[in-house]
């Protein structure tokens, strides 16, 4: 096995662009949180780029209140983090009474801001790894409102992935805006006892009040019943695309790496 070189990028769109241009062989982006729901931007980016989902990871999310050394809880007037993290810790932030949540584009950027500006009246919400990377202190750990907090990440690649073992398939489609269209689309799976795992609707850009449907279902495109369902679905949809068949991810706890 070859060592993996990790390249952090400033936005989700940069990740997609880097993989599509083959500057990177793979990208990892969040697609759904168990508490706050879907990451809509990344659903839209999946459609906008010619890439495939090749795997998924379900990561247990632990949020920490991170400060510069010597900063006390009562000094904190601002809490920086990504909007999703702020939302997932809103009860804790409210308990600080005088602290105001301030959104930034990601959790690591929040820690970097607190570090580089040497702030003594602010904190960041981020992972323990971010605290290690920037040499800051965890003032409070596990501050998320719900400890059963998982984020599902997808792995994207220009090439289709392997379809071995227990797999799922992700597709996107659109239908005519007529009665029963969505029912008929979903019935191709019900008639074959294919389990639907998730359905997500998004606006169809350029067509007001029409929608795309992102669908995850059990099985891979190597299975005959899934192939038949897809062929039937293509006949009754106005747009159809397979985003990938890939092994189902397991729930994991992140590991810390000292720098």
Of residues 52, 92, 153, 189, which has the active-site annotation? 153
Does residue 58 contact residue 251 with C-beta atoms inside 8 Å?
Answer: yes
Establish whether 151 is a catalytic residue: yes
Establish whether 213 is a catalytic residue: no
Around Cβ 72, how many Cβ atoms within 10 Å? 9
Residue with tokens 């500006």: 117
Of residues 151, 169, 175, 237, which has the active-site annotation? 151
Does residue 51 contact residue 157 with C-beta atoms inside 8 Å?
Answer: yes
Does residue 126 contact residue 34 with C-beta atoms inside 8 Å?
Answer: no
| 56 CB burial (10 A radius; 0-12, 13-18, 19+) | buried
Q: Which helix (H) or strand (E) holds 141?
A: strand 137-141
Does residue 169 contact residue 250 with C-beta atoms inside 8 Å?
Answer: no
Beta bridge partners of 252: 59
Residues tagged active-site: 151, 153
């Amino acid at each position: 096995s070859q060592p993996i070189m990790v390249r952090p990028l400033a936005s989700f769109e940069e990740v997609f662009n880097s993989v599509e241009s083959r500057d990177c062989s793979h990208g990892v982006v969040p697609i759904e949180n168990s508490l706050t729901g879907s990451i809509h931007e990344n659903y839209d980016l999946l459609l906008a780029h010619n890439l495939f989902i090749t795997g998924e990871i379900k990561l247990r999310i632990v949020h920490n209140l991170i400060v510069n050394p010597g900063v006390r809880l009562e000094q904190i007037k601002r809490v920086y983090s990504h909007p999703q993290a702020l939302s997932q810790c809103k009860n804790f932030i409210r308990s600080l009474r005088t602290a105001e949540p301030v959104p930034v584009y990601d959790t690591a950027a929040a820690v970097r801001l607190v570090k580089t500006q040497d702030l003594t009246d602010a904190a960041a919400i981020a992972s323990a790894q971010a605290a290690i990377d920037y040499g800051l202190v965890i003032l409070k750990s596990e501050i998320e409102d719900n400890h059963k907090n998982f984020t599902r990440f997808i792995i994207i690649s220009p090439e289709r992935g392997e379809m071995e073992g227990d797999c799922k398939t992700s597709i996107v489609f659109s239908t005519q805006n007529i009665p029963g269209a969505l029912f008929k689309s979903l019935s191709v799976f019900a008639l074959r006892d294919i389990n639907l795992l998730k359905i997500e609707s998004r606006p169809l850009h350029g067509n007001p009040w029409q929608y795309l449907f992102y669908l995850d279902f059990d099985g891979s495109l190597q299975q005959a019943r899934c192939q038949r369902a897809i062929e039937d679905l293509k006949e009754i949809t106005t747009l159809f695309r397979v985003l990938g068949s890939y092994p189902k991810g397991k729930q994991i706890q992140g590991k810390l790496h000292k720098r």
